[in-house]
Amino acid sequence: MRLRQLYISLLIGVGTLALTACGGGDVSSASSVPPPTPTPTPTPTSAQSVTIFGSPVVGQYASVGASATGHPWTAGAGTPVGPVSTADADQVHIRYTGSGTYEVQLTGGAWNALIPYGQGTGPDVLQGLAGISQLAISGSRDKGYQYSELASWSSSSRFGAFAFGVPTAAGQVPLAGSGTYAGIVAGQSNVIGHNSFDGSYILPVVGSVALSFDFAKGSLTGAMTLSLDSYQQLPLGTFTFKDTVFSAGSTTYSGAFNTPATGGQNSFLGQFTGPAAQETIGAWALPFILSTGNSEVSADGLTHQAFGAFIAKH
C-alpha cells in the first residue's frame, strides 16, 4: 500500500532491541590508542507514548470493521480479494490497560502493546509482528473526536478497516428529538490501479457519511459518498441508505445502500459512542459499478466491491 494513504503508523511488538556499538583497530597499538567513545544505546520507545484518545478509558473498546481475505500488495499483483466479513471474529480489537498502554489483538490472537514507529520510515517494512504487517490510526482526535477512532490494517492473509471507541451504555441514547451525525469513511476495494511509480496496486476508498436519527420515532436515514483514492481521486457517487433498522433507545443500528450494482455484499452496521451518544462508529460493505476511469484506472462497467469503516459525530 502506498505510504501517502496511511496516517499515524504504529509498530506492534512485544519487546525492544538494544543496539550496541563495536570498536576496532590495530591490535599492536591498542594499548596506546584510547578506545573510541561508545555510541550511546538508544532509549527504548515506551508504549506509554502512544496517544489515541485524550482521556483513555481502561478496558476493551467497542470495535466494528470490515475485512477480506488477501493483502493489498498481492491483490495488486493479481491475487483475488476474498469475501468481505463484518463478523467480530475477523476484525482487529483495541484495549487500554491499567498500566497506561494500548494493546492490539488480531482476530482472536494474543494481545500486544502498541509502540509508535520511527519517523521517516514506512509501515510497509513491518512484517510478522503480532500477525499484523500494517496498522494505521487516523488521528481523529485532531478532528474533534473524543470517543471514536478509525484505522486501517493488513496481515499476511487479511486486510480491512475498523472503527473503535467508548460504547454508549444502554439507557443513554436520547429518546426525544433528532440527531444528525457527519463523519469520515476509510476502506478498501477490489479495483486494481496502475502507474509507472507504484506498478499495480489495489485502490483504497475514502469518503464521507451522514446519518440522521429520529430518536423519538426510532428511524434512520442517511447516505455515504465514496471515491477511489488514486493519485487523482475518482468519485464513485453518493449511496443513500435503505432497509434501515433502528429502534428508540437502541445503542445499535443497521441497514444497506441503494446502488445500481447487483450482487456483491451490501450492508452497514453501527453503534453509538460517548456517554450520551455524541458519536458513532460503523462498518460497511458496498457493491458499485466502475463506470468512469482516469489515467490509473480503467472504466470496465463491471461490478466491484468496496468495504471499510466510518466514524461520525453529532
Domain residue ranges of the chain, discontinuous segments joined by +:
3-13+44-313
Q: What pLDDT, on the 0 to 100 scale, is given for residue 263?
A: 87
Q: What pLDDT, on the 0 to 100 scale, is given for residue 308?
A: 98
Q: What pLDDT, on the 0 to 100 scale, is given for residue 216?
A: 97
Residue the block writes with cell 590495530: 26
Q: Which residues of the chain have pLDDT under 70?
A: 1-49, 71-79, 116-133, 198
Q: What pLDDT, on the 0 to 100 scale, is given for residue 132?
A: 61
Q: What is the dihedral of CA 22, 26, 31, 33, to 10 degrees?
A: -80
Residues 44 and 216: their CA atoms lie apart, in Å, by 53
User: How many CA atoms, within 13 angstroms, populate the side-chain half-sphere of residue 38?
Assistant: 7
Rg of the chain over all Cα atoms, to the nearest angstrom: 22
Total-model pTM: 0.82
Judge contact between 313 and 144, C-beta under 8 A. yes
Residues 162 and 150: their CA atoms lie apart, in Å, by 6
